Chains A and B, each alone.
Chain A
Amino acid sequence: AQTVTQSQPEMSVQEAETVTLSCTYDTSESDYYLFWYKQPPSRQMILVIRQEAYKQQNATENRFSVNFQKAAKSFSLKISDSQLGDAAMYFCAYRRWGYQKVTFGIGTKLQVIP
């Protein structure tokens, strides 16, 4: 069974600084997708970034980028120029290609310090 591990329950970052959230996953599949979702205090899950496993290039969305290491099964999220609005729970997630189920990690709570 696939598992997703987020080993950092809480992280903090100074406003305008950079922070990296860690995620590792376990799978025997070669085709899959990885996601980072953000859940602010409103509790709505918002897609931050998505990575297809067959792509070697790391995904980037404005201030958000990932470091995807397929062999190491690692998928970290880097947030540059952190803003107060980035404060939220961040969930790493995995989905096997062709399957419906998305497996989520338990989340990392990010605090942004003014």
Chain B
Amino acid sequence: DGGITQSPKYLFRKEGQNVTLSCEQNLNHDAMYWYRQDPGQGLRLIYYSQIVNDFQKGDIAEGYSVSREKKESFPLTVTSAQKNPTAFYLCASSMFSGGTTDTQYFGPGTRLTVL
């Protein structure tokens, strides 16, 4: 079945550690995104990538890093520089053609807790 997978579902991190969240899609989508969701707030964009080896910062990129070495994969690293990393992280993907992107579809999310 085509879809977006995120792993792990739950992740615990000690302060000062970097952690990497995985996002894989087999939808043959060109664009991929990372969002952060906090209680009582909508989703906020961290990073996005339209094509392999290219990505752009979203609204809250500080303390995060990404890579896009393969079309199917867009891992997110939460670094020790991120002051308040405890949150729910959602990955999404979409087609990109004709100079614009199509509807975004989401993975099941990863809950990150800093101990």
Please tell me if the beta carbons of A100 and B42 are within 8 angstroms of each other in the complex: no
**Which residue on A lies nearest to B94, using beta carbons?**
A100
**A78-111, CB under 8 A of B: which get 1 and which 0?**
0000000000000101010111111111110000
Please tell me if the beta carbons of A91 and B42 are within 8 angstroms of each other in the complex: yes
A113 at the interface (CB under 8 A from B): no
Q: A4-B42, A105-B42 are in contact. Are A100 and B108 (CB under 8 A)?
A: no
**B74-106, CB under 8 A of A: which get 1 and which 0?**
000000000000001010100000011101111
A25 at the interface (CB under 8 A from B): no
Chain A to chain B contacts (Cβ below 8 Å), 11 pairs:
A4-B42, A33-B103, A43-B88, A45-B106, A46-B106, A91-B42, A97-B100, A100-B31, A100-B33, A101-B48, A105-B42
Interface residues of B (CB under 8 A from A): 31, 33, 40-45, 48, 50, 56, 58-59, 88, 90, 92, 99-101, 103-109
Q: How far is the CA of A98 from the CA of B40 in the complex (A)?
A: 29
Please tell me if the beta carbons of B107 and A44 are within 8 angstroms of each other in the complex: yes
What residues of chain A lie closer than 8 Å to B44, measured between beta carbons?
104
Contact of B108 among A42, A50, A93 (CB under 8 A): A42
The number of chain A residues touching the other chain, given as a range, is 20 to 34
Contact of A102 among B41, B45, B108, B109 (CB under 8 A): B45
Please tell me if the beta carbons of B43 and A104 are within 8 angstroms of each other in the complex: yes
Please tell me if the beta carbons of B100 and A98 are within 8 angstroms of each other in the complex: yes
Q: How far is the CA of A100 from the CA of B80 in the complex (A)?
A: 27
Please tell me if the beta carbons of A44 and B106 are within 8 angstroms of each other in the complex: yes
A68 at the interface (CB under 8 A from B): no
**Which residue on B lies nearest to A102, using beta carbons?**
B104
Q: How far is the CA of A44 from the CA of B45 in the complex (A)?
A: 16
**Which residue on A lies nearest to B105, using beta carbons?**
A47
